[in-house]
Amino acid sequence: MHKDIATPNRTKEILKKYGFSFKKSLGQNFLIDPNILRKITDAANLTQESGAIEIGPGIGALTEQLARACKKVVAFEIDQRLLPILNETLAPYSNVDIIHSDVLKANVKEIIHERMAGIEDIMVVANLPYYVTTPIIMKLLTDNLPIRGLVVMLQKEVADRMTARPGTKDYGSLSIAVQYYTDVEIVMNVPKTVFVPQPNVDSAVIRLTRRSTPRAVVKDESFFFQVTKASFAQRRKTIFNNLSSQLPSGKEKKEAILAALEQANIDPKRRGETLTIEEFARLSDQLYPYFQ
């Protein structure tokens, strides 16, 4: 077995050899603790038959652990300067494909189809670039990919919002979007000291397990998400006031919103943060005919 890429000394050696300078704008905070990397990998419950998709391999610290734990790793890296480095650090692992691409622009479904043919169990595992955490997670959830779920490192504050329950200060449209598609749990909190350079924010690892069916059945998904966003536009306002000011104008809009709230059995004076996903689903289905 080779010495782990992630040990502080080996990381330092690699960065020095290539004269690599971190780009803050690309969220480059590399992990230098093999123990944390193994815990992240373990949380994905991979087998030798599984596949792993990584976003942002950096110099390959996590990629290496994944390559040892599963059959095939496909990793998307935006920064061209890392390609020659990865070529060297991951040379011992023949089961890794590096794709030079912005993951937000990539056709991930097609790439899975091409590079992971025959693999049934696929997980996304990543230490995400924090400047695009939410767009990446939402893209992977809404692209309808053949994945079991995601184990990702992200800002603790965003992890708290994604896992928040109704009635708490962190609960909002992001909690609903994520929990609509997945069962989500915090795996661990991670100290700043395991990164170079150290990020300004605290971090956490979460696991998102895709549900076989969404948590609620709705007539129109995009309208459901529009209603949830509108309901949290101003947190101190009632659901009625938020919907009245946020939904597109229409004939007798306020009357329509009041009627829909009543039909959905939701008190117009409640605040969005107290509604469960099921209640939002009921409400959006009642509102839907008025806003077509």
Q: Which stretches of the chain bind ligand SAM, using CB under 6 A?
A: 26-31, 55-58, 61-62, 76-79, 82, 102-104, 127, 129, 132
Query: Cα–Cα distance between 187 and 148 in angstroms, integer?
Result: 16
Minimum distance of ligand SAM from residue 78's CB (angstroms): 4
117 touches 97 (CB < 8 A):
no
User: One-letter amino acid identity for 77?
Assistant: E
- Looking at the Cβ atoms of 70 and 82, the one nearer to ligand SAM is 82
Minimum distance of ligand SAM from residue 190's CB (angstroms): 11
Minimum distance of ligand SAM from residue 235's CB (angstroms): 30
For residue 168, give the 3-state DSSP assignment: coil
248 touches 226 (CB < 8 A):
no
Class of residue 2 by CB neighbours under 10 A (exposed 0-12, middle 13-18, buried 19+): exposed
* CB-based closest residue to ligand SAM: 56
- Looking at the Cβ atoms of 103 and 178, the one nearer to ligand SAM is 103
Minimum distance of ligand SAM from residue 13's CB (angstroms): 15
Minimum distance of ligand SAM from residue 75's CB (angstroms): 8
**Whether residue 191 has a cis bond before it, omega within 30° of 0:** no
53 touches 125 (CB < 8 A):
yes
Residue closest to 121 by CA, chosen among 99, 149, 95: 149
Class of residue 200 by CB neighbours under 10 A (exposed 0-12, middle 13-18, buried 19+): exposed
Minimum distance of ligand SAM from residue 35's CB (angstroms): 13
- Looking at the Cβ atoms of 82 and 261, the one nearer to ligand SAM is 82
Query: Cα–Cα distance between 289 and 292 in angstroms, integer?
Result: 6
- Looking at the Cβ atoms of 102 and 120, the one nearer to ligand SAM is 102
Minimum distance of ligand SAM from residue 277's CB (angstroms): 29
- Looking at the Cβ atoms of 58 and 149, the one nearer to ligand SAM is 58
- Looking at the Cβ atoms of 125 and 247, the one nearer to ligand SAM is 125
- Looking at the Cβ atoms of 103 and 247, the one nearer to ligand SAM is 103
Q: Which tokens go with 253?
A: 């809009």
Minimum distance of ligand SAM from residue 30's CB (angstroms): 4
- Looking at the Cβ atoms of 90 and 218, the one nearer to ligand SAM is 90
Query: Cα–Cα distance between 183 and 149 in angstroms, integer?
Result: 9
Cα separation values, 2 from 10, 35, 65, 67, 96, Å? 11, 15, 11, 12, 16
